[in-house]
Structure formats: structure tokens, C-alpha cells
Structure 1
Amino acid sequence: MAITTDSHVAVLAFPFGSHGQPVLAVTRRLASASPSTVFSFFNTAQSNSSLFYSDPPPNIRVHEVSDGVPEGTVLTGNPEEAVELFLEAAPEIFRREIAVAEKEVGLKVNSMLTDAFIWFAGDIAAELNVSWVAFWISGPNSLTAHLNTDLIRETIGNVKDGRMEETLEFITGMEKIRVKDIPEGVVSGNLNSVFSNMLHQMSLALPRATAVYVNSFQELDPRLTDNLRSKFKRCLSIGPVGLLTSQTETQVNDPHGCLGWIEKQSPASVAYIAFGRVMTPPPRELVEIAQGLESSKVPFIWSLKEKNMVHLPKGFLDGTRKQGMVIPWAPQVELLNHEAVGVFVSHGGWGSVLESVAAGVPMICRPFFGDHALNARSVEVVWEIGMTIINGVFTKEGVEECLDRVLVQDEGKKMKCNAKKLQEVALEAVSTKGSSSENFKGLLDQVVKV
């Protein structure tokens, strides 16, 4: 199908974890809103294979770029190694592939839209004399933490001196966040790791961007929104991206019959348990979750990769066949939006938090790394829509107590009420005249302007 092209946008994805999906979701929506713009989407073959289940629209051209791993190299399995090799090679790879795409399309790139992790895109955009628009796929809380890395390091100093419980009173909007909630690499953990260096470089580069857009809605954290606006030339909250793009979804994939099972459950009674694509609790904690679920008698749906089911206690699957189901994949958004789900047990990744907010479902968070602890803290004390698992790890007793607090006690009723209020605000933000919809128009203008 031939299309008339009047502008050309280079989209640079970060090919690790769950980063590609939200960047592609926004690209699809932009492509739908501007059919005369060609979007050249650059990503590794491995990442693309997990994103494209069907042919993209005709104005999204998918390009496979090298992962930067030299031929013959055998990776050790350390995730940082693959990221480091990619980041070292990526600037030249992207420069080369953009030139190829310009020849194919017959039109120079007029703007660059990239994952914020690709901090060197600012240099490439400057060379091409085009605008650089960066997408932070997580929340305003973690972006604020990374932007203030130098300030936090100067103010807190050595974290070994017992300051982990202190709150970040000196950063607007972060007054309830503790030092120990901040992602590792800012003041704790290895400050010279690949990820720490990448995020620090990003924090220094992002203020140069023509615009930064965030997968959030500005009413979720108004003071953080204002704070970010003061740091950037333009800052646009366009989320929850899942709500903005859900209308493009067609048939629901439910291979294990979750939706039929949940129809038979009472309102707000079911615990849905899932830890995202990347994270799985250690085997010992899987046993504790299973034991806590079984003894609590709470109906459940647990999305757990098949390879990890071997760690479940002997007899658990048979013994809980009437109580719940353990399946390798579940239609998460549809489940969270079902009236029978009363709590979402999660790692606290930003995508999962937003989906829970959008569905009005309280959370029990078990953070692992990155922004998880920061998001869990926000869930518990900033928005008051859930709690962090007791003592930070799953135990049988902790699972029982948390489920009881959220699903039965008055404390849980308040969480549910707060979650429903936040859901209304999120739905309003993505409505026709809502803040996220208006900000999306601003993003569209910024990206496709000739």
C-alpha cells in the first residue's frame, strides 16, 4: 500500500526488559494519528520478535539493528554484559541505520523519538539538526530521583552512615520517599555499574531534549509533574499508555480460561499474582507464596512461568485446584479490570502499577530492583492504594496477613476506595479533553512537524 509521505521520524528502542512495548505502543498511536508520516522503528531482531505478532501499519517501517555483540562472542549470562556491548556499539549502529532508512524512504529524518535510556540520541539529533524527543517509560518519581542524582549524592553522602531511613525532604514531591527506596546506582549499590553510568549520563543529557514525555498522568503526582516541568524544555505526561492504546486491541487472548473461571468468583475476592516478564521470586519465596495462598483460602490466579512451577510445594497444584489456578500466562489487563479481582500481588514495576491504578485495584508489592521499591513506597504512603509485603520478602505468614489486611480489614477498604478515586482520575486524563490526551496532541505536533 503506497502512502504519501510528508515527514519521517526515527524511533530508537532500548532492546532490553520490557522497554520496547510502551515505545512501540506510542509509535503505533502516533502512526495512526499521522498516516502521512513514516516511522522508522529501530530495534534488535530479538526484541522485535517479542513485539510484532502481526504486521505493523504501513507507515511503521521495522528495522533490525545489531545487538553489538561481536561475532563469536559467548556471553556469560550477566545481563549487564549484553547492555554494555549494545551501548558501546549503538551510537554508530543507529547513525548508520538511520542513513539507510533515509535512502529507503526518500526523505531525511525530521525528528527522533527515543527511549530515554538512549541518552546519546541528543548528539545524533544535533548532528542531523533535528529535534530529540525522549520517552521515560516509568514514572515521574524514578525520573525525579535520577535527575537529582548529583544533589542526592551531595546531600546524603555515604549511605553506610545509617541514613537509609531518612526522607528526601530536599526534593519537591519526594518528601515521603526514603533514601532506601531510591533505585540502586544513585547512592547505594555499585555506582560505577553499566546501568548506574547509563542513568547518570541520561540525567545529564535529558535537559537538552526538545521534549520529554512520561508514561504517567500529571494528576497522579502534581508536585512531581511541576518539578519535572521546571527541569525540561517541555515535559508531557501522556499515560497511562495502556489506556490510551487499549482501544486498538481486538480479540482477548485467554489460552488458559482465566476469564471463564473468574466469572464464577465473588466481587473483590480474588488475588491476582504476577511479577512481570523479567522477574520471578526465588524458589524459597515461591514456596512461601504457595503456602500462604493455600492456608488463606483466598481464590487466586497466579501467572507463573512453567519452568518455575517445579519449585511449588508437592501437592500444592492438586490441593488448590478448586481454590485457584497457576498458569504460565494470563490476560493481565482484562483480569485486573474484572470486578472479582480484589488485590494485585506484584513486583511493583511501573507498568504493573499503572495497570493496577487504571483498574482501581489495590496492590501488595514485593520490590526486587530498579524503581520497584520507589513505586511500592508510592503505592503505600503517597497514594495509599496498597502495601509492601511485610519485611520485604514473601513468607507464609506475611502473605496471609497482607491478603487479610487488603481483602478483609477496614485498612483494605480504604485502599480500595483510594484506588477507585485514582482510577477515575486516570480515566479522566485519557478522555477526549483530558490532560494526557491533550499532551499527546502536543507530542504529535512535536514529533511530526516538518
Structure 2
Amino acid sequence: MAKDPIYDSHVAVLAFPFGTHAAPLLAVTRRLASAGPTTVFSFFNTAQSNSSLLSSVDDADLPANVRVLDVSDGVPDGYVFSGRPQETMELFLVAAPENFREAIAAAEKEVGRKVKCVLTDAFFWFAADIAAEMKACWVAFWTAGPNSLSAHLYTDLIRETIGVKEVNGRMEETLGFISGMEKMRVKDTPEGVVFGNLDSVFSNTLHQMGLALPRATAVFINSFEELDPTLTKNLKSEFKRYINIGPLALLSSSTSQTETLLVHDPHGCLAWIEKRSPASVAYISFGTVMTPPPGELVAIAQGLESSKVPFVWSLKEKNMVHLPNGFLERTREQGMVVPWAPQVELLKHEATGVFVTHCGWNSVLESVSGGVPMICRPFFGDQRLNGRAVEVVWEIGMTIINGVFTKDGFEKCLDRVLVQDDGKKMKGNAKKLKEQAHEAVSAKGSSFENFEGLLDAVVNISI
């Protein structure tokens, strides 16, 4: 692209190409680019992640001032994978600082403008140094919730207070020494904070991130201030600027009836749920990364069949072989098992009464935005903290009994959330949070106004 006089500033956007990280960063970049048309945004991501992102985004939806560029995945030529979990992520992270430096230099040449802001996934702690070398500002996007951000920010404090060697005897203790985390237990924290492999590449990345983020010009998050006021207040005191701009799902999802007809729904979930009674359906999905082990899939199926609760279950085709023989035929009238479902629209639907989830942050926030109580089955990372917040902080759901699905345990959870008085209380609390979430993104709401602050930090750059 030749030098273009209409662009008066240049922002480099560095995406993390794993899990569900890159998509929300691209969504935020699109919003910033639309609001700041004289700024050019160079969006760097691996070729594989870009191709999957752009297959779901119409080119026409990308503002003209967003350039999507490929960066190396860090896998050396001829590399033989050993099959270790996180291997591709580790190779990427080790090579990322140099690869991003080179890619930014090439983009500056092409655009003819120096980068004045480096906008990154918060995982890239080294962006603090890259930005300083370039005399640019660093703005970091934490894609999960404020509890896990706090856990990484205060990793050293948690290690000193709990003691890494003593941790096994202190797992039930709470983090009362961190403002806003008084109900969180040591065992809820992500691996790599105080237990698990503290020396892995990924644990080290998160630890370094916690140390580096106070250097950022701004840290922003997909949440809204009213959801966690104490955590928000505390994080505002720790960072130069701490900005809640979510829930992003409420900003991007369609609302008009005409647009709803255009929702991608290849398996007819929305037509099916239209015929169900209010707050009666269980929607089940564990995100794109994790699937419960086969024994738990069997327990979910048995619990659904036995409870007779109507359901939509999003389950990858390769995992359907684990379902009990004849389950799909016997429950054909009761529910549907599909390889993909339009989650945001299902969680907004009045017939959805409970969301059975792994408690990834995007899923939790989408459930909050729809006012739907949750049954939580966390697996790793921030999911335990999110599940704990659902159960004991916001009181809008519960964690699965004993942490794993059994037929009887799952039935009891469904009954408690959908039928018992306890469940009515969860539904009432969820409805209040839903109203606050919608208020936050409306004109004059906290997230609406905070987005102006983010735009100021990224586009109206004064170094």
C-alpha cells in the first residue's frame, strides 16, 4: 500500500492467535477504525488465525483503514512436533518479540508512517519494551475477566502470602488480602500462579505480563464496571488507565428482526427454540477448546434424558460417538445435539432457562448479557475463578456437584436452577445484571463512555 496522505497516525495491533483471543481484538479494532478514519490500523496475526477470522467476516465489514497482515507462527523450518500440549503456543511466544518487531518495521515502510500506538493482547508483555523503543504508547487488551487479571497482577503477592511449597495445605483459603477477591479461594486461581508448573513458557508469560501491565498507557477489558465494582476500583488504582468497554457481544449482536433472519444458524436451533416455553431449555456448550471426557458426556446425556428437560447441546461431531446408544433417537422430540449453535442468540432467547458451560469469560459474559443462570463445569485457566464468581459473588448459578458431571448430580443441578426457589433467586439476580449490562453499553452508559476513553488512548496519541 503506497503512502496515503489521508492517514495521520498508525496503530500496530498484535493478536494472540490461540483460543478465542484474536476475534474480540479484531472486533475492537474495527470499532476503533470506524471511529478514527484517519488512523491506519495494521492488524498482525498468524496466517492460520487470520484465515479463520476472515472466513467469518465479510471483507466489506472491514473498514478501509484496517490492514490485516500475517506474522510468522514461530515454528522453525523442518521442526518435528513432540505432541506436548501448548507446544505451538510456546514456539509462537518465544519467536513473537522478534517477529512482531520485523513485521511492524515492514508495515511502517509500506504505510509511510511511524507507529505511534502498539495495541496488543495483554499476553504480550514484551510490547512494553517494543513500544518504549519506538517511542510509542502501549495499550493492552485483557480478553478475560477482572478476577483473573488480578490473579496475574498479584502473582508475587499470592506466592509470598500463601507460600508455593505450602500451597497444597492452603487450597481452601481465600484471597482476602486482595481487594475484590475476598470470596476467591487459592484453588480457584489459574495454573501457574501458585500451583501447577510455575516454570512453563506460558506461566512465565503470564507472570511477566502481571509485572509489565502497570507500564501500559491503558489496559482495557471486555466487561462492565457495574459487574465487579470493587475489582474495578482496585484495578483503576493499579493501572494508569483501566477501561471496561463490554459486554462486546451486546455491541456486535443483531437486534432487529430483519437482521435476526440473517443469523448464521445452519442447524435450525432458533426455529426449534421458538416452540419452547419461557425459561425451560438447557443450552449446553463447552467452548471451542475443551470437551468433557467421554464418561462425563455420557452422564450429561443420561441426566438430560432422565430429567426430560428440553435442550440444545452444541457438541463437535467427532465427540458424538461417545453418546449412549440410541440417545439421539430417544430424545429427538426433547432436544437437539448440533456441531455448532448460534450461542449469543440462544442466550438472548426467553426460552433458554440455563446455560451449562465451561465458564470461559466470553461465554459467562454472554450469559450475563442474556440474563441466563449457569451450571458451571470449569476445566482450567480462568474458568474456576469465573465459576466461583457466578456461584458466590453474583449468585447467578452453581458449579456442578463435586466438580464433574454424574447423571444424578447433573439432574439435581438442572432441578435446582430450573425448578427450585434457589433457581428463581438466581434468575432474578441474572435479570438485574442483564439490565446493568445493557445500560452500560447504551448511550451515556459506563462502557459507551469508556470506549471514548479508549479511542482517546489509541488514536489521539500524545507521547
Hey, what does 1:58 align to over in structure 2?
A: 64
2:74 equivalent to 1:72: no
Question: Structure 2 CA distance, aligned partners of 1:235 and 1:433?
Answer: 18
Q: Please tell me the residue identity of whatever aligns with 2:345.
A: E
Q: Tell whether the 8 Å contact from 1:3 to 1:36 is kept in structure 2 after alignment.
A: no
Q: Tell whether the 8 Å contact from 1:159 to 1:187 is kept in structure 2 after alignment.
A: no
Q: Please tell me the residue identity of whatever aligns with 1:75.
A: F
Match of 1:289, SS state, is helix
Match of 1:79, SS state, is coil
Question: Structure 2 CA distance, aligned partners of 1:302 and 1:366?
Answer: 15
Question: Structure 2 CA distance, aligned partners of 1:263 and 1:159?
Answer: 53
Q: Measure how far apart 1:85 and its partner are.
A: 1.1
Q: Please tell me the residue identity of whatever aligns with 2:76.
A: P
Hey, what does 1:22 align to over in structure 2?
A: 24
Deviations 1:266-313 (A, max 9, x none): 000000000111111111110110001000000000000001001111
Q: Measure how far apart 1:244 and its partner are.
A: 2.3
2:443 equivalent to 1:436: no
Question: Structure 2 CA distance, aligned partners of 1:3 and 1:78?
Answer: 48
**2:321 paired residue among 307, 310, 322:** 310
Hey, what does 1:388 align to over in structure 2?
A: 399
2:253 equivalent to 1:246: yes
Superposed counterparts of 1:358-377, under 5 Å: 358-377=369-388
Deviations 1:146-185 (A, max 9, x none): 1110111111113445211111111110111111111111
2:193 equivalent to 1:186: yes
Hey, what does 2:225 align to over in structure 1?
A: 218
Hey, what does 2:205 align to over in structure 1?
A: 198
Q: Please tell me the residue identity of whatever aligns with 1:198.
A: T
Question: Structure 2 CA distance, aligned partners of 1:159 and 1:186?
Answer: 14
Question: Which consecutive residues of structure 2, in runs of 5 or more, have no partner in the other structure?
Answer: none
2:349 equivalent to 1:343: no
**189-198 or 409-418: which moved more?**
189-198
Question: Structure 2 CA distance, aligned partners of 1:290 and 1:128?
Answer: 55
Q: Measure how far apart 1:349 and its partner are.
A: 0.5
Q: Tell whether the 8 Å contact from 2:282 to 2:312 is kept in structure 1 after alignment.
A: yes
Change (3 A) 1:24 1:227: same
Deviations 1:313-353 (A, max 9, x none): 11000010000000000000000000000000000000000
Q: Measure how far apart 1:31 and its partner are.
A: 1.0
**1:89 paired residue among 71, 95, 116:** 95
Match of 2:119, SS state, is strand
Q: Measure how far apart 1:78 and its partner are.
A: 2.5
Q: Measure how far apart 1:45 and its partner are.
A: 0.7
Q: Tell whether the 8 Å contact from 2:16 to 2:123 is kept in structure 1 after alignment.
A: yes
Question: Structure 2 CA distance, aligned partners of 1:224 and 1:104?
Answer: 42
| Count of aligned pairs between the two proteins | 450
2:384 equivalent to 1:397: no
Q: Measure how far apart 1:49 and its partner are.
A: 1.5
Question: Structure 1 CA distance, aligned partners of 2:85 and 2:119?
Answer: 25
Change (3 A) 1:159 1:387: farther
Hey, what does 1:172 align to over in structure 2?
A: 179
Q: Tell whether the 8 Å contact from 2:299 to 2:407 is kept in structure 1 after alignment.
A: yes
Question: Structure 1 CA distance, aligned partners of 2:251 and 2:447?
Answer: 9
Question: Structure 1 CA distance, aligned partners of 2:88 and 2:255?
Answer: 33
Q: Measure how far apart 1:79 and its partner are.
A: 3.4
Identity across the alignment (%): 75
Question: Structure 2 CA distance, aligned partners of 1:282 and 1:409?
Answer: 29
Q: Tell whether the 8 Å contact from 1:13 to 1:43 is kept in structure 2 after alignment.
A: yes
Q: Please tell me the residue identity of whatever aligns with 1:10.
A: A
Match of 1:343, SS state, is strand
Query: TM-score of the superposition, structure 1-length normalised?
Result: 0.98
Query: TM-score of the superposition, structure 2-length normalised?
Result: 0.95
Q: Tell whether the 8 Å contact from 1:119 to 1:206 is kept in structure 2 after alignment.
A: yes
Question: Structure 2 CA distance, aligned partners of 1:74 and 1:247?
Answer: 44
Deviations 1:115-140 (A, max 9, x none): 00011001100010000000000111
Hey, what does 1:124 align to over in structure 2?
A: 130
Question: Structure 1 CA distance, aligned partners of 2:347 and 2:255?
Answer: 18
Question: Structure 2 CA distance, aligned partners of 1:243 and 1:427?
Answer: 7
Match of 1:41, SS state, is strand
Q: Tell whether the 8 Å contact from 1:258 to 1:330 is kept in structure 2 after alignment.
A: yes
Question: Structure 2 CA distance, aligned partners of 1:131 and 1:171?
Answer: 29
**1:8 paired residue among 3, 7, 10:** 10
Q: Tell whether the 8 Å contact from 1:362 to 1:415 is kept in structure 2 after alignment.
A: yes
**347-356 or 77-86: which moved more?**
77-86
Hey, what does 1:297 align to over in structure 2?
A: 308
Question: Which consecutive residues of structure 1, in runs of 5 or more, have no partner in the other structure?
Answer: none
Runs of 4+ in 1 over 6 A off after TM superposition: none
Match of 1:394, SS state, is coil
